[in-house]
Amino acid sequence: MFSSFINGGIAVLAYASLATAISSSAGRTVNVDGTFYYVPATAVSSLGVSWNELKVATSSGDDLIPMTVMSGDFSTFDASTLNSAIANFTAEDDVFSRGFLQAVYLISTTPSELHANLTDTLSTYGNKLFMVSATSNSSVSTTDCTVAIPNGPYFVSAYTGSIYQAFRLYSDFEGAFTEGTIGAEEGNYSTLSASIPGVQSPTIGVPSRLYYTKTKSQPLAGVRVGIKDIYDVAGTKRGCGSRAYYDLYPEANKTALAVQRIIDAGGIIVGKMKTSQFANGEAATADWVDYHSPFNPRGEGYSDPSSSSSGPGAGIGAYQWLDLALGSDTGGSVRNPAQVNGCYGNRPTHDLVALTNVMPLSPLMDTAGFLTRDADIWKAAGEILYTSNLTTFTSFPKTLYTTGFPVNASTEAEGVLLDFLVKLEGFLNTTSSVLDYDTMWSTSAQANSTSAPDLSSLLALTYPTLITKQQWELLGAPFLADYAAANDGRTPFIDPVPEFRWGYGKSKNTTLEDGIQNKTIFKDWWNESVMPKNAETCSENLLLYPGTLATPNYRNVYLDPPSLPAGWGVYNIAIFAGVPDMVVPVGQAPYNSTISNHIEYLPVAVDIIAAPGCDAVIFELASQLQAAGITRAPKAGSTMYRRDVGGRLE
Ligand SMILES: *[C@@H]1O[C@H](CO)[C@@H](O)[C@H](O)[C@H]1NC(C)=O
Ligand SMILES: *[C@@H]1O[C@H](CO)[C@@H](O)[C@H](O)[C@H]1NC(C)=O
Ligand SMILES: *[C@@H]1O[C@H](CO)[C@@H](O)[C@H](O)[C@H]1NC(C)=O
Ligand SMILES: *[C@@H]1O[C@H](CO)[C@@H](O)[C@H](O)[C@H]1NC(C)=O
Ligand SMILES: *[C@@H]1O[C@H](CO)[C@@H](O)[C@H](O)[C@H]1NC(C)=O
Ligand SMILES: *[C@@H]1O[C@H](CO)[C@@H](O)[C@H](O)[C@H]1NC(C)=O
Ligand SMILES: *[C@@H]1O[C@H](CO)[C@@H](O)[C@H](O)[C@H]1NC(C)=O
Ligand SMILES: *[C@@H]1O[C@H](CO)[C@@H](O)[C@H](O)[C@H]1NC(C)=O
Ligand SMILES: *[C@@H]1O[C@H](CO)[C@@H](O)[C@H](O)[C@H]1NC(C)=O
Ligand SMILES: *[C@@H]1O[C@H](CO)[C@@H](O)[C@H](O)[C@H]1NC(C)=O
Ligand SMILES: *[C@@H]1O[C@H](CO)[C@@H](O)[C@H](O)[C@H]1NC(C)=O
Ligand SMILES: *[C@@H]1O[C@H](CO)[C@@H](O)[C@H](O)[C@H]1NC(C)=O
């Protein structure tokens, strides 16, 4: 073993005495070269190296040594191999940093010849201790660790030789999360105990990306996932956007099936994310009373993030360290946040996955969908969540319809939208045409038999009827009863929107049966007459509509009191027909912000609708469009794409 004595940068900020069982079980927070890390209580492996050998790499007063594991087939390991490994780790991972080179542990699958020029190079990185696994069969071999561990940054205890994973800590400065989570015993999770400076927001911990390798059975290995706080995650509380609800009920004892499928596929659950109250539509300033609405990171950062998957939308739009979020869509709750926060987002075919251990809004329309910046992660996540309920297909539909598209571009946003349409037509080798489903309805036998001359007469009251009656019965009434029983007959505070909607649900103005009947009439008509299934292409056609056109919707606006979410629009098609409606970000466009008094950029997105069960067609299309460069995976932050020197978006 050889070592050098450069002053590395480790300082322990806060950790309690090892003698107290409670604080050691919650892990520790450590600072390496100015960046905060969480060190879990449970070790993943151990080195059989003594204190005398390890102490050279410690900093005064601390036993935790930042250490990098480098494993591979290294017949020779010299300065250039070391530099190459460091460059690779830095490019692939946000948790690794040079501070972790304080100790290096080399594991080679073949006997490794260590070159003399390593010593000087290691010392330039501040290395104090270089260890080689015994299986590396090297002249400086020391020890094997007890359990094989992959590449990446770790912490090793100089006292015990225990090796711990490193979680980088991030401040949730956009307020997208309710709390950070960390895996605990036997499939349970617990609230992350760490806290770092930030704007009164939770701290989220993410493990090194280097620990994980995606495989066929683990296509989401290492993918960092946030979960909308209406899904149960065993060991943590579910708040559903209500302080009273969070306080009243205990930690969940089961993980929702939808979340479990993500975990089984290798996804890392890093936190619970904000929902508007009980997943009802709420506007930032007017309606969010119990909690503050998350911040939409796009533009100057003061556009409404939309709802109800507000946390998932804002978090995916804001944080490059977050890969995927699980939201839910009853009436637009994945699609709208995906559009305005600049990411992919899907409302799937209804009933593709059972929503057990999930808060209900309207089980007749509730769906579980994803938000993400990457079409390939989107597709992989869809495949593991909806599994065999996704219908297979052999080619893309050739019939492409649009509705609501501008004829000519009168704004830059419309130009982005029309440019995408032209490229999509080229990709599918087809020409789009306008679908006038309103006229198709008015001339249908169903319009005649229901005495509903237009779709608005049939459906304007359907959505409010279904959600208010179902949520009042399944959630509102039992919650109020449970709360009263636990609080001497008291009523909990309810935000204005759910309060108003539950009031309508209790009224006798419409009936659930009437709503179900109208929904069924529309569903049957749409799926038979407008968008039938096709053996080869799954869906006979695809329908596109503009999702968002870079229009600011400032959050500092006082709105009217709540009203019924009544009406008819293109966004209702998927809700009533039970078909997929998926948001694809296609670009960004400028606006002159009245807040920053500067030109800023907001997302441009398109929605794509297909026949029931044909979600896989759109997942595949989105993936291929991204691979072909027709769309680009957006970046997190104020702008989705950066302009290169030629003015093109990258
Ligand atoms: C270290 O030595 C090896 C073998 O001679 C050589 O290939 C490599 O370029 C050297 N690297 C450095 C950084 O000097
Ligand atoms: C770094 O990555 C490159 C490209 O994948 C690879 O060729 C090289 O072997 C890697 N370096 C090390 C030390 O693993
Ligand atoms: C270690 O490698 C050398 C050659 O590099 C070989 O002669 C020796 O048998 C190996 N020892 C073990 C234990 O594998
Ligand atoms: C999991 O969490 C629940 C709820 O906090 C708790 O009752 C249970 O004991 C935990 N199970 C394990 C194995 O830690
Ligand atoms: C798990 O939680 C549910 C819902 O709160 C409860 O009905 C059930 O009794 C709990 N089961 C156990 C084993 O604690
Ligand atoms: C497929 O959907 C049905 C409901 O339509 C559900 O009962 C079933 O569990 C789903 N299959 C899988 C593998 O999730
Ligand atoms: C759209 O542009 C075309 C070609 O530039 C022009 O002929 C047509 O009149 C325009 N239509 C409208 C509605 O502006
Ligand atoms: C596109 O469609 C046209 C007309 O059907 C056909 O002639 C042409 O070969 C197609 N091109 C490709 C690339 O599929
Ligand atoms: C409407 O229904 C009536 C009676 O059911 C029928 O006589 C009439 O032809 C229908 N009109 C259309 C346009 O289908
Ligand atoms: C159902 O449709 C009829 C028209 O056929 C309409 O009068 C009624 O308001 C609708 N009710 C609901 C709940 O959608
Ligand atoms: C029910 O309908 C009546 C008459 O149109 C209206 O005055 C009342 O406000 C409605 N009730 C609710 C809860 O919407
Ligand atoms: C943006 O709006 C402000 C206020 O109306 C105006 O002063 C400014 O010139 C505008 N900037 C641009 C680039 O249009």
Report CA(463)–ligand 11 centroid distance (Å): 16
What would you report as the CA-atom Rg of the chain, rounded to the nearest whole angstrom? Answer: 27
CA nearest ligand 3 atom 12, residue: 137
- Which ligand number lies closest to the CA of residue 567? 10
Report CA(329)–ligand 5 centroid distance (Å): 26
Whether 410 is in the pocket of ligand 7, judged by its Cβ within 6 Å, is: no
* Strand pairing category for 189-191 and 177-183: antiparallel
Give the pLDDT score at 114.
84
- Given a cut of 90, is residue 588 above it in pLDDT? yes
- Given a cut of 70, is residue 599 above it in pLDDT? yes
Q: Return the best residue to mutate from 405, 408, 410, 418 for the ligand 7 pocket (most ligand atoms within 8 A of CB).
A: 408
Q: Which of 166, 168, 142, 147 is nearest to 155 (CA)?
A: 166
CA nearest ligand 11 atom 1, residue: 509
- Given a cut of 70, is residue 414 above it in pLDDT? yes
pLDDT cut 90: percent of the chain above it: 85
Triad 627, 417, 576: Cα angle to 5°:
90
- Given a cut of 50, is residue 20 above it in pLDDT? no
* SS3 assignment, position 277: helix
Whether 119 is in the pocket of ligand 1, judged by its Cβ within 6 Å, is: no
User: How far is the C-alpha of 104 from the C-alpha of 86, rounded, in Å?
Assistant: 11
Per-residue pLDDT, averaged over 233-238, amounts to 98
- Given a cut of 50, is residue 447 above it in pLDDT? yes
CA nearest ligand 1 atom 13, residue: 79
Report CA(141)–ligand 3 centroid distance (Å): 12
Whether 407 is in the pocket of ligand 7, judged by its Cβ within 6 Å, is: yes
Banded pLDDT at 10 (limits 50, 70, 90): very low
Phi, psi of 489 (to 5 degrees): 85, 5
- Given a cut of 50, is residue 415 above it in pLDDT? yes
User: How far is the C-alpha of 645 from the C-alpha of 642, rounded, in Å?
Assistant: 10
Phi, psi of 618 (to 5 degrees): -75, -35
Return the amino acid letter for 356.
T
Residue 534 CB burial class (10 angstroms; 0-12, 13-18, ≥19): middle
Query: What are the structure tokens assigned to 296, written together?
Result: 């939409």
Report CA(190)–ligand 4 centroid distance (Å): 9
User: How far is the C-alpha of 287 from the C-alpha of 308, rounded, in Å?
Assistant: 12
Per-residue pLDDT, averaged over 458-466, amounts to 98
Asked if 577 and 613 touch (Cβ cutoff 8 Å), the reply is no
**Atom from ligand 3 closest to the CA of residue 113:** 5
Higher local confidence (pLDDT), 647 or 633: 633
CATH 3.90.1300.10 in the chain, residues? 173-187+209-389
CA nearest ligand 3 atom 11, residue: 137
Report CA(290)–ligand 12 centroid distance (Å): 36
Q: Which of 296, 286, 268, 281 is nearest to 175 (CA)?
A: 296
- Which ligand number lies closest to the CA of residue 414? 7
**Atom from ligand 2 closest to the CA of residue 88:** 1
- Given a cut of 70, is residue 442 above it in pLDDT? yes
Instruction: Name the least confident of 21-30, 204-213, 216-225, 549-558.
Output: 21-30
Higher local confidence (pLDDT), 344 or 144: 344
Banded pLDDT at 290 (limits 50, 70, 90): very high
* Strand pairing category for 399-402 and 433-434: parallel
Report CA(482)–ligand 5 centroid distance (Å): 15
What is the number of other CB atoms lying within 10 angstroms of the CB of residue 546? 22
- Given a cut of 60, is residue 521 above it in pLDDT? yes
Give the pLDDT score at 186.
84
- Given a cut of 90, is residue 75 above it in pLDDT? no
Give the pLDDT score at 142.
62
Beta partners for residue 145, in sequence order: 47
Report CA(411)–ligand 7 centroid distance (Å): 14
Banded pLDDT at 49 (limits 50, 70, 90): confident
Q: Which of 349, 274, 273 is nearest to 538 (CA)?
A: 349
Provide DSSP, 483-497.
HHHHTTTPPPP--HH
Banded pLDDT at 649 (limits 50, 70, 90): low
Banded pLDDT at 648 (limits 50, 70, 90): low
Give the pLDDT score at 120.
93
- Which ligand number lies closest to the CA of residue 516? 10
Per-residue pLDDT, averaged over 158-175, amounts to 96
Banded pLDDT at 50 (limits 50, 70, 90): confident
- Given a cut of 70, is residue 435 above it in pLDDT? yes
Higher local confidence (pLDDT), 209 or 26: 209
Banded pLDDT at 185 (limits 50, 70, 90): confident
Banded pLDDT at 2 (limits 50, 70, 90): very low
Whether 137 is in the pocket of ligand 3, judged by its Cβ within 6 Å, is: yes
pLDDT in tens, 115-147: 888 999 999 999 999 988 877 666 555 667 778
Q: Return the best residue to mutate from 261, 262, 352, 355 for the ligand 6 pocket (most ligand atoms within 8 A of CB).
A: 352
Give the pLDDT score at 106.
92
User: How far is the C-alpha of 10 from the C-alpha of 34, rounded, in Å?
Assistant: 9
Q: Which of 447, 240, 526 is nearest to 360 (CA)?
A: 240
> Which of the four CATH numbers 3.40.190.10, 3.40.640.10, 3.90.1300.10, 3.40.50.10470 does domain 173-187+209-389 have?
3.90.1300.10
Give the pLDDT score at 24.
44
Report CA(168)–ligand 1 centroid distance (Å): 33
CA nearest ligand 11 atom 2, residue: 509
- Which ligand number lies closest to the CA of residue 515? 10
Q: What is the mean pLDDT of the chain?
A: 93
User: How far is the C-alpha of 219 from the C-alpha of 260, rounded, in Å?
Assistant: 14
Provide DSSP, 16-50.
--TT-HHHHHT-EEEEETTEEEEE-SS-SEEB---
Provide DSSP, 45-75.
EEB---HHHHGGGPPTT--EEEEEEEEE--S
Per-residue pLDDT, averaged over 436-445, amounts to 97
Query: What are the structure tokens assigned to 93, written together?
Result: 């991972």
Residues lining ligand 6, Cβ inside 6 A: 351-354, 387-389
- Given a cut of 50, is residue 641 above it in pLDDT? yes
Asked if 605 and 617 touch (Cβ cutoff 8 Å), the reply is no
- Given a cut of 60, is residue 1 above it in pLDDT? no
- Which ligand number lies closest to the CA of residue 594? 12
What is the number of other CB atoms lying within 10 angstroms of the CB of residue 145? 23
Report CA(187)–ligand 4 centroid distance (Å): 9
Q: How would you label 401-430 residue by residue, b for 16+ Cβ within 10 Å and e otherwise?
A: bbbebeeeeebbbbbbbbebbebbeeebeb
Q: CB neighbours of 162 closer than 8 A, spacing ≥ 6?
A: 43, 45, 46, 156
What is the number of other CB atoms lying within 10 angstroms of the CB of residue 395? 11
